[in-house]
Amino acid sequence: MQKLISLMLLLLVSMTASAERLKDIVSVSGVRSNQLVGYGLVVGLDGTGDKTSFTSQTFRNMLNNFGVAIPASVDPKSKNIAAVAIHAELPPFAKPGQRIDITVSAIGDAKSLRGGSLLMSPLKGADGQVYAIAQGNLVVSGFGVEGNDGSRLSLNVPSVGRIANGATVERTVPNAFNHGDSLVINLNNPDFTTSRRVAEQINALLGPQIASSMDASSIRVRAPRDPAQRVSFLSILENLEVQPAEEAARVVINSRTGTIIIGQNVRVSPVAITHGGLTVNITENFDVTQPNPLGRGETVVTPRSTIEVEEGSGHMFEFAPGASLQDLVEAVNQVGAAPGDLMAILEALKQAGALKAELVVI
């Protein structure tokens, strides 16, 4: 196995650097992060805590655990305490004793978590098991001030904070990395051509029948059973360089921001487009009608509307067969179309069947 790894390293060094590394375009099946969530109390606030009933209940339960009994008739409301939700991401292969970052968010009416400390809180996974314990001092980037007259000034969000290395991992998440005779790698952007090229590149390096494409997203690769050899094997695979397939022709339009992204493979069939503008101006004026001095009439105010229509100079441009992205952009720039006009042109081209691309509106 050592000789095979050495040979693979030599072959990798001799390859060109024009393609992308496999580690940048794929992920290993079963090697994934897991989300954790928890509930806790932040104490030590400077009067910016909440006054909700569940915060009082949690505070009462915590004191009972420490042997402090609060009479049922007493409501332990405190402005220095806030109930918070805690969430974190448990990375793959995290071991007990390692530390992870956490984010703490107020779930009551607390105005700010600045200066607070999170008390020990368990973090659970989707299976209900505790995988980490969180505790520490919060770092809050936002702040807020409020006047007696109700005026308020805030910067960022003072009700959310983070604690770097604020949780200690208590349980390892099992995974299937060391199980079986093969590994499955998944493309980040599924594509049949890229899947085939990845399998061919691995087989060219390791030999035939080592890798096989399962579908547009997954490639199965035979791997050694020994964990140490499997790590070395995957280390070499992820540095293998592959030329991904070109992306499908696609035009993406963000109607909220006016952003338009046109892919490089977008083509336009022979078509003629006219672009023009129609401006309508409506002005409202008022006329005052005075009665005859001897007629005993009343002064009357009558509205007078003026409508002006101004038609802009029309522009027409024609696309030859197989027009490319550059031709489309140059033609649109010549007529000075705004983003809204360009959106209308692209939608009309798609309706006419002249735009050879997928039109995505987000």
Cα–Cα separations (whole angstroms), residue 40 to 54, 58, 124, 265, 294: 11, 8, 12, 52, 86
26-43: per-residue pLDDT in tens? 999 888 899 999 999 999
Question: Does the pLDDT of residue 147 top 90, yes or no?
Answer: no
Rounded mean pLDDT, 63-76: 78
**d(C-alpha 323, C-alpha 318), whole Å:** 10
Question: Does the pLDDT of residue 267 top 90, yes or no?
Answer: no
pLDDT value of residue 9: 41
Question: Whose CA is closest to 185, among 233, 229, 227?
Answer: 233
pTM over cut 0.85: no
pLDDT value of residue 18: 59
Which of 61-65, 75-79, 301-305, 306-310 has the lowest average pLDDT? 306-310
Cα–Cα separations (whole angstroms), residue 219 to 199, 222, 299, 305: 7, 10, 87, 71
Residue extents of the structural domains in the chain: 2-31+180-242, 34-169, 250-281+308-361
287-320: per-residue pLDDT in tens? 767 776 666 667 776 666 554 545 555 555 666 6
**Spatial contact of 127 and 101, defined as CB atoms under 8 Å apart:** no
Question: Whose CA is closest to 191, among 164, 209, 217?
Answer: 217
Cβ neighbours of residue 206 under 8 Å, at least 6 residues apart? 4, 8
pLDDT value of residue 49: 85
pLDDT value of residue 343: 79
pLDDT over 90 percentage in the chain: 36
**d(C-alpha 232, C-alpha 242), whole Å:** 19
Question: Does the pLDDT of residue 1 top 50, yes or no?
Answer: no
pLDDT over 70 percentage in the chain: 73
> Using 50, 70 and 90 to split pLDDT, how confident is the model at 264?
confident
